[in-house]
């Protein structure tokens, strides 16, 4: 793709705020949420509405620009492809409409809406979406990567609950595609259900909401000296957990504090049943705190207390084919220096079942997610080395792919899918965006 020698500013195509490199505030507007990531773009556009996106895509097609959408930059990789073509970074914050239909149990959600905002809108109706651990991740960005929710064991991928997308295609046309689409629209719909944001810009998504008359959950914490026993109970509880129960464990190291081990949990049901299922954890002595309580659906984001303001992070993940006593021992023994969190999430349930998404069935029963705090070059190197050592310690249990939303900078979209799926996604990319106008954080062709 080549840039037209003297293309006009993208401001000629939109009504929203446009910032070019020479403008005050450009650097801040172009920074992603993950402050560890540096990224280079030629312009930032805070689009006013879906028509703005359509105008911008037509502009990009005409003048050889690339469109990359980043509601927040939680999933930024630093590789915007800016060396090949001028890149316009689209911020979707003004597409913030949420319409909940309590009777139909659906929500229409704009491309700037976060999970925390959708949960606040759904909770008064006794309904929930399928949020992950962070309330400040965008609903659309999460769903485009499949999306692993607190409630995925019960309801599958976030993408499994999508009814329809409003999109702008590579020709700059606004379209609605959904479960009843056929032909090429059906393949585009499938690709957006977990294949990332490389084939269209989504302006709005319509999702099913799920009944949540009662939600129970919270975090229990012990000194890390109890990790052996806590992880043993974790294996016991997850081995027989019903789909409504989700349990994660975390080895936590906050700077300047003693290491800890935690259990994070949610249950779609009443507190009595939940407490009975979680009783093995009550038998572990030395508990320092227990925040478990009946929750509103919009309080889930508080369980793991992840940062909600932009901050730096270095993470990586792997699926685990099992989590036996040897895996647990290997993790406890692995160096966790400068790793804020070494987290094991129990998967399974509906995630392993049939799905019409590009994400496909997720058969591995556990996910290991490592999160460290980078800083100075030495600190960053130490975090990376610690993560490599930890992954090496569980090498015998690693799954064959990484869920798309858990890919790390340096990995590729092809790391998230079986070979036949990435081949199909690439064919769809070539058919629907032959000029390469769109560029996701993990491009399909990369
Ligand atoms: C603290 C934290 C906790 C997390 N917890 C979970 C979790 O529990 N489960 C889980 O599955 N993931 C989790 N994630 C990962 C997160 O879901 C992904 O990084 C997701 O892509 C973030 O979406 P975003 O739009 O907020 O981020 P962004 O970086 O702004 O966007 C990510 C990518 O999505 C695409 N995209 C976003 N919006 C659009 C659009 N409207 N049209 C086209 N493409 C678009 C783009 O390719 C973009 O690069 C977590 C991330 C963090 C930082």
Q: Quick one: 256 and 354 in the same domain?
A: yes
Check if 437 has its Cβ closer than 6 Å to any atom of ligand 1. Answer: no
Q: What are phi and psi of 29, to 5 degrees?
A: -65, -30
Residue with CA closest to ligand 1 atom 7: 132
Check if 405 has its Cβ closer than 6 Å to any atom of ligand 1. Answer: yes
Structural domain containing residue 50: 11-91
Q: Count other Cβ atoms within 10 Å, centred on residue 229.
A: 17
Residue with CA closest to ligand 1 atom 28: 73
Q: What is the pTM of this model?
A: 0.97
Give the C-alpha separation, 281 to 287, whole Å: 9
Domain count, the chain: 3
Residue 141 alpha carbon to ligand 1 centre in Å: 4
Give the C-alpha separation, 267 to 89, whole Å: 38
Q: Quick one: 256 and 163 in the same domain?
A: no
3-state helix, strand, coil in the chain (%, to 5): 30, 25, 45
Is residue 6 assigned to a domain?
no
Q: Quick one: 202 and 233 in the same domain?
A: no
pLDDT in tens, 244-255: 999 999 999 988
pLDDT in tens, 9-36: 999 999 999 999 999 999 999 999 999 9
Q: What is the CATH number of the domain that holds 52?
A: 3.30.43.10
Q: Quick one: 186 and 79 in the same domain?
A: no
Q: Quick one: 219 and 260 in the same domain?
A: yes
CA atoms lying within 13 Å on the CB side of residue 367: 28
SS3 category, 159 = helix
Q: Quick one: 362 and 263 in the same domain?
A: yes
Whether 288 and 221 have beta carbons less than 8 Å apart is answered as yes
Residue 138 alpha carbon to ligand 1 centre in Å: 6
Q: What is the CATH number of the domain that holds 257?
A: 3.40.462.20
Give the C-alpha separation, 20 to 65, whole Å: 14
Residue 75 alpha carbon to ligand 1 centre in Å: 5
Residue 430 alpha carbon to ligand 1 centre in Å: 23
Label residue 1 by pLDDT band (50, 70, 90).
Answer: very low
Closest atom of ligand 1 relative to the 200 alpha carbon: 43
- What residues have CB less than 8 Å from 341, skipping those under 6 apart? 250, 251, 252, 253, 369, 370, 371
Q: Quick one: 277 and 200 in the same domain?
A: no
Quick check: 137 pLDDT over 60?
Answer: yes
């Amino acid at each position: 793709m080549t840039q037209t020698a003297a293309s006009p500013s993208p401001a000629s195509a939109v009504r929203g705020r446009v910032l070019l490199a020479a403008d005050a505030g450009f650097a801040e507007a172009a920074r992603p949420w993950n402050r560890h990531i540096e990224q280079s773009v030629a312009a930032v556009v805070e689009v006013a509405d879906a028509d703005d996106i359509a105008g911008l895509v037509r502009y990009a097609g005409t003048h050889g620009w690339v469109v990359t959408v980043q509601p927040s930059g939680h999933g930024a990789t630093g590789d915007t492809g800016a060396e090949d073509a001028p890149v316009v970074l689209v911020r979707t914050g003004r597409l913030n409409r949420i319409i909940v239909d309590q009777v139909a149990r659906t929500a229409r959600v704009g491309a700037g809406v976060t999970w925390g905002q959708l949960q606040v809108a759904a909770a008064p109706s006794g309904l929930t979406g399928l949020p992950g651990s962070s309330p400040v991740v965008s609903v659309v960005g999460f769903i485009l990567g499949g999306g692993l929710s607190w409630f995925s064991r019960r309801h599958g991928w976030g993408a499994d609950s999508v009814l329809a997308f409003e999109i702008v295609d590579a020709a700059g046309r606004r379209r609605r595609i959904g479960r009843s689409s056929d032909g090429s629209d059906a393949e585009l719909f499938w690709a957006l259900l977990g294949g990332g944001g490389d084939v269209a810009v989504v302006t709005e998504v319509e999702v099913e909401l799920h009944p949540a008359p009662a939600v129970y959950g919270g975090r229990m914490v012990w000194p890390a000296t109890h990790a052996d026993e806590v992880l043993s109970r974790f294996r016991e509880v997850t081995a027989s957990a019903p789909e409504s129960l989700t349990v994660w464990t975390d080895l936590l190291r906050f700077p300047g504090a003693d290491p800890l081990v935690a259990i994070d949990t949610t249950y779609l049901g009443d507190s009595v049943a939940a407490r009975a299922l979680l009783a093995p954890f009550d038998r572990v002595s030395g508990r320092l705190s227990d925040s478990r309580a009946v929750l509103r659906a919009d309080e889930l984001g508080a369980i793991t207390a992840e940062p909600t303001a932009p901050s730096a992070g270095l993470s990586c993940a792997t699926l685990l084919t099992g989590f036996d006593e040897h895996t647990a021992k290997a993790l406890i023994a692995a160096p966790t220096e400068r790793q804020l969190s070494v987290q094991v999430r129990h998967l399974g349930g509906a995630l392993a079942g049939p799905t019409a998404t590009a994400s496909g069935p997720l058969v591995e029963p556990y996910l290991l997610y490592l999160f460290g705090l980078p800083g100075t070059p030495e600190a960053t190197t130490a975090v990376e080395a610690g993560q490599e050592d930890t992954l090496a310690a569980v090498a015998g249990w690693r799954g064959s792919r990484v869920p798309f939303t858990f890919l790390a900078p340096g990995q590729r979209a092809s790391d998230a899918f079986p070979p036949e799926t990435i081949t199909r996604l690439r064919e769809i990319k070539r058919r629907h965006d032959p000029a390469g106008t769109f560029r996701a954080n993990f491009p399909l062709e990369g």
